[in-house]
């Protein structure tokens, strides 16, 4: 089975590379890079990152998924906020913490709500304002697709909740087939032929995400992620069916 998945990963990475970057990373490259720099330079974020790395066995999508969600959540916040002067770094710190922690209970049935509870416990001693801690936990609780959102009356908290959701759902595009899918099914011991049987229904689920984006930026760029991911998924499926009849 290991050789089957090695072949599948190689095919997937080639197909993803051939399709190129989503429009978000081409048109908002400056904001994404600025977000990445802030992420790397923030000591509070790096402390949280260390905690996440120590508990990596509980992650269902892998650590790289959480890093990307964190950076893209920060980028969306920067785009939505516009020019914020010296407040930029403070705006994105909660975004990074929410992104890093959003899947800490991924293997639980109600992972978003349970993750929010665990995040509050972990963040208890962090140097955060109370509204930031509340906003982070609310965003984590609200990041699951097709579930009712918990209400918020704080614009900052709503912006963070929307940004985290959208950054997480960006991963349902090319990233899903470059890494996430294989990181989930291979350790679970799912035979490749069994995976192929459920491949098309899985692509249909991805299509439902297209209209679910919440922020202005997510609504603008999210559908492109989904359309690109679906095209990649179909192409990978066709190649795998030839290689594994």
CA angle, residues 197, 199, 203, in degrees to nearest 5: 150
Q: Do 48 and 126 contact (CB within 8 A), yes or no?
A: yes
Contact present, 12 and 182 (Cβ < 8 Å): yes
Specify the CATH class of 2-243 in words.
Answer: mainly alpha
Three-state SS letters, 6-67: HHHHHHHHHHHHHHCCCHHHHHCHHHHHHHHHHHHHCHHHHHHHHHHHHCHHHCCCCHHHHH
**CB distance 142 to 112 below 8 Å:** yes
Question: Tens-digit pLDDT profile for the chain (245 aa)?
Answer: 578 999 999 999 999 999 999 999 999 999 999 999 999 999 999 999 999 988 865 555 668 889 999 999 999 999 998 755 456 777 899 999 999 999 999 878 889 999 999 999 999 999 999 999 999 999 999 999 999 899 888 899 999 999 999 999 999 999 999 988 888 888 888 999 999 998 988 888 899 999 999 999 999 999 999 999 999 999 999 999 998 76
Q: Are 28 and 216 in contact (CB under 8 A)?
A: no
**Where do the domains of the chain lie?**
2-243
pTM, two decimals, is 0.93
Cβ neighbours of 72 (radius 10 Å): 29
Q: Which of 224, 127, 133, 216 is nearest to 170 (CA)?
A: 224
């Amino acid at each position: 089975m290991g050789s089957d998945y090695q072949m599948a990963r190689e095919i997937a990475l080639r197909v993803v590379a051939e399709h190129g970057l989503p429009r978000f990373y081409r048109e908002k490259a400056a904001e994404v890079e600025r977000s990445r720099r802030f992420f790397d330079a923030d000591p509070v974020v790096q402390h949280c990152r260390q905690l996440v790395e120590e508990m990596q066995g509980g992650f269902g999508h892998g650590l790289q998924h959480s890093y990307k969600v964190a950076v893209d959540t920060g980028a969306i916040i920067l785009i939505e906020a516009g020019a914020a002067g010296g407040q930029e770094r403070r705006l994105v710190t909660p975004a990074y913490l929410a992104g890093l922690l959003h899947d800490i209970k991924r293997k639980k049935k109600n992972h978003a709500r349970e993750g929010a509870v665990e995040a509050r416990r972990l963040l208890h001693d962090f140097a955060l304002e109370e509204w930031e801690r509340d906003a982070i936990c609310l965003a984590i609780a609200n990041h699951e697709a097709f579930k009712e959102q918990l209400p918020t009356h704080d614009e900052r908290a709503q912006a963070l909740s929307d940004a985290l959701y959208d950054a997480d759902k960006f991963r349902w595009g090319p990233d899903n087939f470059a890494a996430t899918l294989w990181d989930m099914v291979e350790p679970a011991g799912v035979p490749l032929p069994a995976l192929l049987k459920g491949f098309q229904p899985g692509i249909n689920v991805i299509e439902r995400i297209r209209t679910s984006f919440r922020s202005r930026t997510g609504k603008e760029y999210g559908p492109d992620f989904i359309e690109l991911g679906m095209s990649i998924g179909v192409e990978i499926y066709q190649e795998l069916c030839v290689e594994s009849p």
